[in-house]
A and B are shown apart, each in its own frame.
Chain A
Amino acid sequence: MIEDSVSLHLPIVATILIPFAAALLGLAAARRSIVKDITVIAGFLAVVSAAYRLVTISEPATGSGVPVLTVSSGIPEIALGEVTIPFDLAVGSRTALISLVVAVVTLAVLAFATWYLAEDDRLGVFLATVSLFAAAMQLVVHSGDLVLTLVGWEVMGYCSYLLIGHWSRSGRARRAAYKSFIVTRLADVGFVLGVVILASGARSTGYTEVVTHWSANTGAALTLAISLLVIAVLGKSAQFPFQDWLADAMAGPTPASALIHAATMVAAGTVVLAQLRLLLALAPAAQWLLAVSVAVTMILGAVLAIGQSDLKTLLAWSTVSQVAVMLAPLALVADLEGSAAALFHMYSHALFKALLFLTIGWLSLSIHSTLAARLQGTAGRRLSQAAVVIGFAALAGLPLVVGGWSKELVVATVAGAGAGARGGLLLVALLVTVVLTALYATRAALILVRPGQQKADEDLTTGELRAVVATRAALKEAQHKLDAAPFTPRAVIVLLTVATAFGGIVLLAFEDLLGVPAHVSVLWLTVTLVLALAGIALAWVLSKDGDLALRLGSRQPLWDQGFQADRAYLALVATPVLAAARAVRALDTQVVDAPVRALARQAVRLSDRAGDAQTSRPLTAAALVGIGLVVLLALGVVITLGGGA
């Protein structure tokens, strides 16, 4: 399209193909230690190529067209009757930015996993799957074609199934992996149908053609298609009513959680909706659907996070809540500014959530638990303390660190979009979420940083909280192991801590990348800061006598069960489907097959009667065939005559 399209083209394709190649090579060499070098070096190369692309980007992502510019992926276009699949990739400064974040988080996860899972006999497969996962996400980020997006989207789903179920010797991991795939796959029906409808109108699966066609043909079909896509996004992003799979997914290894939560799977919906923002804006009903779901989800996730007995699950619910925050501007103002706010928060969330997950993984490795009661006071040293404080400050949305900037932008964008019921709903939900988020972030930080109070067992009142208490000896040993952690995990944590601390300011300096001037609203900065401080103060007060979740008393298990959404899934979906399956099987054997079986039985009886089975079986069978032929021929003649008359 433009002269330097080759130089644009190469680093993009490389960013996708390098992790893909690493996945294939890694799988082939899964049992050898070289797999670590292959995947980590490939992860590094992907960062280099994404960074190169970002630095050499020339055009700002302005203008109204989506995407800004497309280049061929190198896959020849397919013309399938009326519809064309161009297999184009989209080029823009935003895609370059998100792609770099994805590459950085992937590299951090790969490097961390080589240490974290060093003893695991399936480390090689794990690293290969992570690489494939990253390739799929890079494909979604760069896609300029609905089919390519769908490919990346589904491959990510399958990779998450494999990663969540990585420790398949545990029944919990097996169930969680199954559940995550089925729940997201159910929502993905929306993606398939949405793609089909959009492509059937545009006669092409290319974003450019699709957007051009549907911008001129709004109406029920577009609303249906976009609503279906929104449903798919709700599924992948673990938004209500699909939210429950993500908490179960904590049965996977922590690096996998970091990858799924920070930069890939759950964030992919934001990327796709930002790419299709022009169409989203033309389908207000779909935006309403998204708005109601994210408003419910951001509060639900935050409330659930407050009461978790397991800090890793707390992070999972915080992801659910934060992704809802990310999607909120798109549900209201699906334009350049709205998507800029969403993508900025995705960028922030990727950095601080990766940091938090890997830090929890680091702290928990030696004590083999992520329970709050066990992790008490484990962040005793300088690095871990810094990581915890900065990470949770970003989550709470305090100014200066990365999450603060983006959360403020989200709130200001939603508030600035004006009145209307949808805007009001989202703004109220966001403000409530700010308080709740600060509350649980403070709770988690206090648990990790405050030295463990030596409490008698009877002081811990509930469920798992009561079951475990970290002994002084275990803590000491844990500290020792932490200090003994080698260079790699420390480097990863340092890198992510620095990125979380300064990532926001850096991005603001290059605000062109997001395509809009990042205006800092003093009013909303103040409001969110006051609300966050209120949440922190509340948490501080409530945590006086130890973990504030203990105050939930005997109701606490409800939080660990995600308010029993799993039961609802079973009762509303799984049980009826299985009952239908049993009924269908009974019908299949007893009704559909019955006449045939009767006929076959008669035939067998005939053939048995016909004499010595040894010698005459083929003959009798042939005779039977002959008889059957005659009968059917007669039948056929009757039908023919009847038809002719």
Chain B
Amino acid sequence: MTLLAAIAVPIVVGLWLVLAGRQLPRTSAWSVGMVAALATLGLLVAALVTDSAFDREWVGVLGLRLALGVDGISAPLLVLTAAIGVLVVLLARSNLPTGGSPSLYLGAVLMATGGAFATFAARDAILFFVAFELVLIPVWLLIHRFGDPHDAAARKDAGLRFILFTVSGSVLMLIGILVLVGSAGTSHFDVLVDAGAALPLGTQTLVAALLVTGLAVKVPVFPLHTWLPAAHATAPTGGSVILAAILLKMGTYGLVRLPIASVPDGFARVAPTLAVLGTIGIIWAGLVCLVENDAKRLIAYSSIAHMGFVVLGLASGTVVGLQAALIGNIAHGVISALLFVVIGGLKDRWGAVRFDAPLPALREHAPRLGFVLILGLAAGLGLPGLAAFWGELFAVYGAWTSGLGPGLLLRVCAAVAALGAVLAAAYALRVGRLLWVGEAQTPVEPTAPTETSGAERLVLAALVVATVTIGLVPHVVWSVTSADASALLAGVLGR
């Protein structure tokens, strides 16, 4: 019940804010949102402590059950989602985007959080799909209504593109789920694990191909990624944070839960292709970042590169790779959230953050914000001691030791991915040069006060602590995921 409440609270409060709360003044709307976000976090913690689960028939005709539960794979993502929910609401105190009423914005944020909660907690494939789709609408609202107020066309384009892409992906995923559920005769994850693995190889491969393609849109995997930079460039800071830290994670989580867990043999057939595409994504996006001049688009492309490592880990079909993907997921969520808050805040204050014109040096004008930026960039390039290191190193390990794919294919992927990390260093420090120390011939003065303050500063502090903690003590994630990650792949390894 606690788990159900943790899902219901943000959705119900969010819905109420969207529908009935439009007249609420800003501070009241914010207080309601904050209380709901904190309550969600509290309920989640309670649910984790009590190992809460819920299982009840929902739509009997379809065999759909309202089955909810938490395991080691979903627990870190649930914590990330709840924490990001609180931080995004907190950020709204100082950086509230225009484009609609405060309650509409906060309602959309809460609903997105609640939908993601349901996605991660679902123990039923159909329920997973419904929850997955539920997140779409509030996020579309965030992009379409609250996006960059200076550029209506870009907002429209990005919103539409987001819908087109993700709905296309969802349809493929739905077909995959239907085929899977139809042939396996169950939609419950716990039963699917055995029932799905027992399916003939042809069916497994078809299901895996459909599911992987559908979910690849959300991750996003090259070449299905072009919606992401557009969405990030336009979205308000809070929207970008939700996109990067929550939405993309639903894609990789789906990959773990559906194809890898349910149709392992089919996934093994698709995996080499996925690994290659993930690796291409690392290089492709890394190269784009070397010449991209819009800061938010650059961070978006860097997300594609980082998710490439996650995908590579997953596609290796090894426990090490899976573990790498799970920690990489969380790390990317925290780091990209941090970078988007920094860049988004600057964009709010300066109007734009572009690299084709000289920028004021943050190190001179806003040392605190500059410190957060350079720490975030260091984390982004995979520096040990910060969050992303573990996922990247062991994704390469997973690919190197993988038995999948013809010949040395995955080993080549591992080597190329390791080289991709050099591109990450090159573009991260390019941002450092242009924005942190400043490359202007004559120093540029900022047009507005630049230093971070208020709620934004609190949010950044929390994200810095998370980045460093995961980097220094990866045990916090791995001790949770370890048992279930091994169990999940036991079927694959047992063959």
Contacts and interface: CB of A to CB of B under 8 A. Distances in A.
Contacts of A639: 175, 210
Interface string A171-215: 100100010011001100100110111011000000000000000
A640 B179 contact: yes
Interface in A117-174: 147, 150-151, 154-155, 158, 161, 165, 168-169, 171, 174
A150 B384 contact: yes
A182 B287 contact: no
Contact of A189 (B210, B318, B421, B474): B421
B365 interface: no
Contacts of A619: none
Interface stretch (A40-48, A340-348, A621-629): A621-629
Contact of A81 (B167, B319, B389, B393): B319
B287 A580 contact: yes
B164 A596 contact: yes
B226 interface: yes
B319 A80 contact: yes
Contacts of A643: 202, 206
Contact of B284 (A82, A584, A593, A629): A584
A174 B439 contact: yes
B171 interface: yes
A152 B276 CA distance: 31
A196 B288 contact: no
Contacts of A171: 439
A92 B206 CA distance: 57
Contacts of A169: 364
A195 to B, nearest CB: 8
B94 interface: no
A583 to B, nearest CB: 8
A428 interface: no
Interface stretch (B56-64, B79-87, B111-119, B412-420): B412-420
Interface in A489-538: none
A289 interface: no
B291 A158 contact: no
B447 to A, nearest CB: 21
B478 interface: yes
Nearest to B437: A168
B390 to A, nearest CB: 9
Q: How many residues of A sit at the interface, in one of the four size bands?
A: 35 or more
Contact of B291 (A83, A578, A607, A621): A578
A126 to B, nearest CB: 13
A645 B61 CA distance: 28
A81 B227 contact: no
A604 interface: yes
Interface residues of B, number: 72
A81 B320 CA distance: 5
Interface in B166-219: 167-168, 171-172, 174-175, 179, 202, 206, 210
Contacts of B164: 596, 599-600, 603, 628
B355 to A, nearest CB: 13
Interface in B392-412: 393-394, 396-397, 400-401
A155 B383 contact: yes
A232 to B, nearest CB: 11
Interface in B418-463: 418-419, 421-423, 425-426, 429-430, 432-433, 436-439
A185 B422 contact: yes
B383 A158 contact: yes
A629 B160 CA distance: 14
B349 interface: no
A27 to B, nearest CB: 8
A81 B486 contact: yes
Given A161-B429, A581-B291, A628-B164, A80 B323 contact: yes
A629 B167 contact: yes
A168 B202 contact: no
Main SS class of interface, A: helix
B80 to A, nearest CB: 20
Given A80-B394, A80-B478, A158-B378, A178 B226 contact: no
A588 B164 CA distance: 18
B354 interface: no
B225 to A, nearest CB: 8
Contacts of A628: 164, 167-168, 171
A592 interface: yes
A35 to B, nearest CB: 14
B475 A78 contact: yes
Contacts of B161: 596, 600
Given A197-B400, A600-B157, A581 B287 contact: yes
B160 A154 contact: no
A178 B425 CA distance: 9
A76 B290 contact: no
B165 to A, nearest CB: 7
Contacts of A192: 393, 396, 418, 421
Nearest to A601: B157
A55 B174 CA distance: 69
A161 B383 CA distance: 12
Contacts of A150: 384, 393
Given A600-B161, A640-B179, A643-B206, A629 B171 contact: yes
Given A577-B287, A629-B171, A639-B175, A81 B378 contact: no
Contact of B223 (A79, A81, A186, A592): A592
B446 to A, nearest CB: 16
B203 to A, nearest CB: 8
A196 B320 CA distance: 12
Contact of B363 (A80, A168, A621): A168
10 contacts: A76-B475, A81-B485, A155-B383, A158-B383, A165-B437, A178-B430, A182-B425, A196-B397, A596-B161, A644-B206
Interface of A: 76, 78-83, 147, 150-151, 154-155, 158, 161, 165, 168-169, 171, 174, 178, 181-182, 185-186, 189, 192-193, 195-197, 199-200, 577-578, 580-582, 584-585, 588, 592-593, 596, 599-600, 603-604, 607, 621, 624-625, 628-629, 632-633, 636-637, 639-640, 643-644
